[in-house]
Amino acid sequence: MSVFSYLLIRTTLGNPARPGRVRVTRAKSLRGSHNTLSKALMPATYTVSVLSLAFLVFPIYWMLLIAFRPGTLNFVFPPLIYPKVFNPATFIATLRQSEPYVITTLAVSIVVMGFTIIVAAPAAFSVARQNKRWLLLMCIYLYGLPSTSYVFGVYTIIYHIHLLNTWAGLMLTFPLFTVPFAVWTLTNFYSTLPKHYEEASLIDGYTPLKSFYRVVMPLARPGLFATALLSFIFSWHLLLFPLVLSETPYQYNFPPTGSFTVTNFATLFDPQSLGSTVTANVWGQVGSAGIILAIPVMLIAILAQDYLLRGLYPGGSRE
Amino acid sequence: MSGASYSKLTGRLLYIPALAYLAAFGVFPLLLSIYYSSPSSGLSSYVALFEFPQLPIVIRNTLIFSFGTAGFATLLGLLLAVFADSLPRGSRLASILVYLPFTVPFTASALIWTTIYDPIYGPANYFASMMGLPRLNWLGQPSLQIYSTTIVSIWSSVPLAFLLILAGLRSVSNSVREASRMDGMGLGDYYTNIAIPLSKGSILTAFLLTLILAFGNFDLPYILNSGYSYSMATLPFLVWFEIFYQNLISQGLAAGVLLTAL
């Protein structure tokens, strides 16, 4: 994958082709343009798109369906794929059960979100304006690196500083996923900001640091907001680190110990590993846990769609 | 302290926190993992890894999983992006529907797909039989497992590819679009000859990003493989399995180094 990481870095950092040049080449090739490919494209697109939409939406629909129906309706043949009886009992019970996991994940994700912005925002500015490309390369490399390749090292460190199974252990390690990503997207965001204001502030005798906090940060608010939300989503989703670093659910104590997250919670209901102990309710619990995991992110994604679309695009478009 | 060097120092303050953090919790653990992969006995853990009879299967699975995910996610993402971009209205709704799977964490999607794949009561077999396919044991039959896992991964990755490619298509300037319409170009011509070639960069980015993320994906293969069988194991799973489940630490770390180096 190193080759592909290198290619990814090349594509995202490479200068986009000048539009003028592309347009001329295209104009030349237009003469023979009415080929079969362009004729077939739109019908194929519409057919495949409608089928793909069904493929993409069905599991979400299925999740809602099995969460809110009595367990007995799950085990009929052929499977019922339309709603018949609405019964929120399993969902409410699962929601109650998830409380300590949700508290941990919320606390950890909010701290991670703040930490990520505080650390990554100035660093990305430094990449965009002071030309620290090596830092961006390091971030893209770490972002693409499989987390399993360093998880043992992370475990060793957290073990030696006695933070296994604590919130602090997760708060220290989750930014490993969010900081590189945030530096990357914010670098792209800063490079779209006009330079005039900060240049004026530098001429007025501001230091780069002061100019960053007083001039750039306020201008960059939409990008920072999007990156913060995405950092929250990322840490909400993580499984490997809590799997390795946590042992129990939150024990309602202070300083907080017990750091199972919502993803650990969902794995409690894996119908495959439950095997013979599987109950009629387990599908309902799977669906309910899925909803609990997905709801915050779904709300963020739908309410802040425009912000996210801007923040989600790592590299490329400068328009 | 002179003004220039003061300004240089404060300039450094911008990136030093990030660098320090990433060095301490990213680069250092990586080096630590590499260091511990060859304990006092030298390279024996690597010898053990390469003599491990299941390694070729695991590598094959990893390649099927990552390239299958990237290829199909990019293709479907491209078609859906063209679809959403060409809609005169409702493209916002289409986008929301396409990126719904992105909002579900891998852990939850893997569990939901476990119920969909249920050999008796799951809707996967129901739809398969409607299309005249035989009933399949999606997650139970060794020759099928890695493909079933890849389908879930494609499902989760289409939204990312879609968003990247749609952003590329949207960045084609309106004047180009209008000019092509004035020249009497149909939508098919516009996309094949103008919009798609102009957003080549974003299509390539989508492919590479989904490829790299799928290559390192631990969550999906871990949850779907609850029987811990090698026939559906991928490299990231193998690393976790050997270190944290079988306690074969140095051999697992050697697999981790292989994963890093590939």
At residue B6, the pLDDT reads 61
Residue in B closest to A206 by C-alpha: B7
The shortest C-alpha distance from B190 to chain A (Å) reads 8
The listed range with the strongest mean pLDDT (A16-30, A212-226, B63-77, B221-235) is: B63-77
A&B contacts, CB < 8 Å: 364
Is B237 a domain residue?
no
Is A45 close to B83, i.e. CB distance below 8 A? yes
Is B14 a domain residue?
no
Q: Where are the alpha helices (DSSP H) in A132-248?
A: 133-144, 151-160, 167-173, 175-190, 196-203, 208-211, 217-219, 221-237, 240-245
Q: Identify whether the C-beta of residue B158 lies closer than 8 Å to the C-beta of residue B210.
A: no
DSSP character at residue B244: I
Is B50 a domain residue?
no
Q: Which of A34, A52, A201, A207 to mutate to test the interface with B (most CBs of B within 10 A)?
A: A52
At residue A318, the pLDDT reads 35
Is B252 a domain residue?
no
| B14: pLDDT strictly greater than 60 | yes
Is A237 close to B105, i.e. CB distance below 8 A? yes
Q: CA–CA separation, A188 vs A175, rounded Å?
A: 19
Q: CA–CA separation, B84 vs B242, rounded Å?
A: 44
Residue in B243, B236, B242, B211 with CA at minimum distance from that of residue B221: B236
Alpha-carbon separation of residue B128 from A203, B116, B122, B225 (angstroms): 68, 12, 10, 22
| A290: pLDDT strictly greater than 70 | yes
For residue range B158-213, list pLDDT tens digits in order.
999 998 899 888 888 888 888 888 887 888 888 888 888 888 888 998 999 999 99
Partners of A257 in beta bridges: A166
Is B251 a domain residue?
no
| A316: pLDDT strictly greater than 50 | no
Question: From the list B22, B106, B211, which residue is nearest A4 (CB)?
Answer: B211
| A26: pLDDT strictly greater than 80 | no
DSSP string across A39-57: HHHHHHHHHHHHHHHHHHH
DSSP character at residue A18: P
Is B2 a domain residue?
no
Is B14 close to A147, i.e. CB distance below 8 A? no
For residue range B55-70, list pLDDT tens digits in order.
899 999 999 999 999 9
Q: Which of B5, B22, B222 to mutate to test the interface with A (most CBs of A within 10 A)?
A: B22
Q: Which residues of B touch A120 (CB under 8 A)?
A: 18
Collect all residues with Cβ–Cβ distance below 8 Å to A306 and sequence separation of at least 6. none
At residue B7, the pLDDT reads 63
Residue A171 confidence class, pLDDT cut points 50, 70, 90: very high
Residue in B closest to A3 by C-alpha: B262
Q: Which residues of A touch B217 (CB under 8 A)?
A: 146
Residue in B closest to A37 by C-alpha: B192
At residue A208, the pLDDT reads 78
The shortest C-alpha distance from A99 to chain B (Å) reads 17
| B87: pLDDT strictly greater than 80 | yes
Query: Average pLDDT in the A154-165 region?
Result: 93
The shortest C-alpha distance from A218 to chain B (Å) reads 16
Pairwise pLDDT comparison (B77 vs A4), residue with the higher score: B77
Residue in A241, A237, A244, A245 with CA at minimum distance from that of residue A266: A237
DSSP character at residue A22: H
Identify the three-state secondary structure at position B257. Answer: helix
Long-range residue pairs from B152-155, CB within 8 A, at least 24 positions apart, any chain: B152/B109, B152/B110, B152/B113, B152/B220, B152/B224, B153/B65, B153/B68, B153/B69, B153/B214, B153/B217, B153/B220, B154/B68, B154/B69, B154/B72, B154/B73, B154/B76, B155/A55, B155/A56, B155/A59, B155/B101, B155/B109, B155/B113
Residue in B206, B211, B173 with CA at minimum distance from that of residue B78: B206
Query: Average pLDDT in the B140-149 region?
Result: 89
Q: Identify whether the C-beta of residue B193 lies closer than 8 Å to the C-beta of residue A26.
A: yes
What was the ipTM of the complex prediction? 0.88
Is B115 close to A62, i.e. CB distance below 8 A? yes
Is B1 a domain residue?
no
Kindly state the helix (H) or strand (E) to which residue B259 belongs, with its residue range: helix B249-261
At residue B41, the pLDDT reads 62
Is B22 a domain residue?
no
Q: Which residues of A touch B33 (CB under 8 A)?
A: 149-153
Provide the domain count of chain B: 1
Is A157 close to B139, i.e. CB distance below 8 A? no
Range of the domain at B217: 55-232
Is B189 close to A14, i.e. CB distance below 8 A? no
DSSP character at residue B115: H
Q: For A278, how many CA atoms within 13 A lie in the half-sphere containing its CB?
A: 17
* Burial (CB count within 10 angstroms: exposed 0-12, middle 13-18, buried 19+), residue A55: middle
Q: Which of A222-231, B31-40, B72-81 has the lowest mean pLDDT?
A: B31-40
- Which CATH number belongs to the domain containing residue B113 in this structure? 1.10.3720.10
